[in-house]
Amino acid sequence: MSELETVAELAKRRGFFFQTAESYGGVGGFFTYGPQGSALKRNVEDRWRDRFVTRAGNMEVSAPDVMPEPVFEASGHLDGFDDMIVECPECDASHRADHLVEDNSEYEDAEALGIERVADLLGELDIACPDCCTPLAGESVEEFNLMFGTDIGPGSSQPGYLRPETAQGIFTEFPRLKEYARGQLPFGVAQIGDAYRNEIAPRRGLIRVRAFTQAELEQFIDPAEDEPDIESVADVELPLYSATAQEGDGKQETYTVREAVEEGVIESEWIAYYLGLARDWYDAIGIDMDRFRYRQHKAGERAHYAADCWDAETELDGEWVEVTGFAYRSDYDLTNHAEATGDTFTVFKQYDEPKTVERPSVDPDMATLGPEFGGQAGAVADALDALAAAGPDAFDGETVAVEVDGESVEVDADVANFEVETVTEAGEHITPHVVEPSFGIGRLFYSVLVHSYETDEVDGEERTYLSLPAELAPTFACVVPLVSNEPAIVEQAERAREQLREAGLAVAYDESGAIGRRYRRQDEIGTPVCVTVDHETIEKEPTSVTVRDRDTTAQARIPVEELQECLLALRAGTDFADLLERDTVTPL
């Protein structure tokens, strides 16, 4: 079995994740997180929240999964998600029709031409199937929209879609969110939630699915002056696989964040900052740093609005899998939502010193324009207003010419009431730029599982365990009575279990089977410690139990009254070896 198969088998057997609705034959691309997986996933999310929300001083929101159609018209997903597919009549291969047109012509964005034009171009440009060279002229071009559609309310009058990324739920609420930030840039808004894509071909377990959890941070900045706290991550070492390297010798290189910025390997300081911050976070949640890299998008791979884009990738079964995208989205989204809604997606930026500027303006005499132009009067006034800003010289003559609905219209200059006002401007409205780290929680979850999967040998028997970080483990401790037919031992074990649960620890209890078997069960789901109540516990004073370390299987005897505190320390990151240094703790 491959590494992924082995872990998927364990995941199914031990309740990490499994395919949804298998009783009904299963459904492609959907997975359910079981008892252990649900806890592990939640812990990954909590760690993310701790690092990228709480400790970063960012806000968090939770938007609905369904949004009305116009939101996705503005965001570009309605068009952008419509893949144009053409099928070869000879070999049945599917190809992106727009890509074929782009490859065979000067068009750079064939998708914008529309489906019929693209279909025509297949003929006009004599495009043939790249696989078997059969001409594709006359073949129909089909659309595949990767968004899940639905209807909001009864009937189909208000179409909606399941969000293909959580980000739009943040952008759409920007006018309100900036109020909560008191209009001050920079600020960050995060969201952890599910996103949906109706993938043509779901693949490889949790890696390509149709419903998945994203943790996204939208960092809103003033591009002119906001800078990240790059010093705080300057010495973090980044394994970078740059676009240049990908096209050249194919080698990744390690740079500190400082070097990467100074040498221009990473263009945006904000991106560099987040790559640094995130690297240590990946390390902390158990991603193997020898199987991790940051890969820069190549020029053709980048979205047209992105200045620079890097992916965090983990290696699973010999293949690199994108677990996070770090994109500089500029003002693309906010500008589009502003245009679509007319709402204010800008912040007011005060100047250090108010500026005095001369502003040309008009105050058209509507009593004259009204009778003269009738219904067009308003448009004429607007045109004059626009002209005042664009070409104030036009008002120097006796009359002013403006264009309304394609016709040239003449107006007496005095009717326009042109004047140049001297006004004091305290600041300006700017559209923030957005830096977006977008984490795929499911893929990270999978990577953590695969990278923490270990086997070793204990007393001649092979052992499987998950070396999960203590704070991530779905079950933190398991309490086991050494034997189950001595009431005093069982009672003491039950007391220990309750004591630890009251401390807020996720504690399992197991009195079934031989002791070694019970340890192995816990090893396999990555439980960091097992607490064993034995004969000595009930026979000797002070009352003590043994605590077993998952990774080394080492054991130590600890007084019961210190148990709670010791385990809390272990969960907070104390090494088992450090615990052994304590006077009251006896290594076995």
Partner RNA sequence: GUGCCGUUGGUCCAGUGGUAGGACAUUAGCUUCCCAAGCUAAUAGCCCGGGUUCAAUUCCCGGACGGCACACCA
Residue from 37, 205, 228, 474 in contact with RNA (CB under 7 A): 205
The span from the CA of 402 to the CA of 511, in Å, is 89
Near RNA by CB under 7 A, which window of 87-95, 335-343, 499-507, 567-575? 87-95
The span from the CA of 235 to the CA of 258, in Å, is 7
CB atoms near residue 224 (< 10 Å): 9
Q: Does 583 bind RNA (CB under 7 A)?
A: no
Q: What 8-state DSSP symbol labels residue 325?
A: E
**Min CB(131)–RNA separation in Å:** 6
Q: Residues 234 to 253: which contact RNA by CB under 7 A?
A: none
Q: Does 495 bind RNA (CB under 7 A)?
A: no
Near RNA by CB under 7 A, which window of 119-127, 332-340, 362-370, 459-467? 459-467
Q: Does 307 bind RNA (CB under 7 A)?
A: no
Q: Does 200 bind RNA (CB under 7 A)?
A: yes
Token pair 């129909």: residue? 140
In sequence order, what DSSP letters do the residues of 153-185 get, joined into one string? SSTTSSEEEE-SSTTHHHHTTHHHHHHHTTTPS
Instruction: Identify which of residues 168 and 431 has a Cβ nearer to RNA in the complex.
Output: 168
Burial class (CB in 10 A: 0-12, 13-18, 19+), 64: exposed
Alpha helix segments (H runs only) across 181-309: 243-247, 257-262, 269-284
Q: Does 25 bind RNA (CB under 7 A)?
A: yes
Q: Does 359 bind RNA (CB under 7 A)?
A: no
* Cβ neighbours for 204, distance < 8 A, ≥ 6 positions apart: 4
Length of the chain: 588
Give the tokens for residue 324: 């996070």
Give the tokens for residue 581: 């240094």
Instruction: Identify which of residues 514 and 572 has a Cβ nearer to RNA in the complex.
Output: 514
Near RNA by CB under 7 A, which window of 171-179, 405-413, 420-428, 527-535? 527-535
Q: Does 131 bind RNA (CB under 7 A)?
A: yes
Q: For RNA, what does the binding mask look like between residues 50 and 79, x meaning CB under 7 A?
A: --------------------------xx--
416: three-class secondary structure by DSSP: helix
- Do 89 and 139 contact (CB within 8 A), yes or no? yes
Instruction: Identify which of residues 420 and 577 has a Cβ nearer to RNA in the complex.
Output: 577
Near RNA by CB under 7 A, which window of 64-72, 225-233, 455-463, 467-475? 455-463
Q: Residues 253 to 292: which contact RNA by CB under 7 A?
A: none
Examine residue 186 and say whether the peptide bond preceding it is cis (omega within 30 degrees of 0).
yes
Q: Does 512 bind RNA (CB under 7 A)?
A: yes
Token pair 């034995």: residue? 534
Q: Does 420 bind RNA (CB under 7 A)?
A: no
**Min CB(446)–RNA separation in Å:** 12
Instruction: Identify which of residues 52 and 81 has a Cβ nearer to RNA in the complex.
Output: 81
Give the tokens for residue 487: 């009431």
Residue from 514, 539, 572, 583 in contact with RNA (CB under 7 A): 514
Q: Residues 159 to 198: which contact RNA by CB under 7 A?
A: 164-165, 197
Near RNA by CB under 7 A, which window of 255-263, 331-339, 394-402, 533-541? 533-541
Q: Does 133 bind RNA (CB under 7 A)?
A: no
Q: Does 521 bind RNA (CB under 7 A)?
A: yes
479: three-class secondary structure by DSSP: strand
Instruction: Identify which of residues 28 and 391 has a Cβ nearer to RNA in the complex.
Output: 28
Q: For RNA, what does the binding mask look like between residues 370 and 399, x meaning CB under 7 A?
A: ------------------------------
Q: Where are the beta strands (DSSP E) in 263-341?
A: 292-296, 309-316, 319-330
Q: Does 202 bind RNA (CB under 7 A)?
A: yes
**Min CB(584)–RNA separation in Å:** 17
Q: Does 32 bind RNA (CB under 7 A)?
A: no
Give the tokens for residue 196: 């949906």
Task: Please give the C-alpha separations between residue 295 and each of 86, 210, 269, 310, 328, in angstroms, as whole numbers.
Answer: 31, 24, 16, 5, 15
Residue from 59, 113, 515, 580 in contact with RNA (CB under 7 A): 515
Examine residue 164 and say whether the peptide bond preceding it is cis (omega within 30 degrees of 0).
no
Pick from 577, 585, 570: nearest CA to 500: 570
Sheet holding 149-151, edge to edge: 66-68, 159-162, 149-151
**Min CB(5)–RNA separation in Å:** 8
Task: Please give the C-alpha separations between residue 275 and each of 56, 230, 261, 373, 398, in angstroms, as whole numbers.
Answer: 14, 11, 11, 60, 62
Residues of this chain that interact with RNA (CB under 7 A) are 1, 9, 12-13, 19, 25-29, 76-77, 80-81, 83, 85, 87, 92-96, 99, 131, 146, 164-165, 197, 199-205, 208, 303, 458-459, 461-464, 482-486, 512-517, 519-521, 523-524, 532, 534-536, 546, 548, 553-555
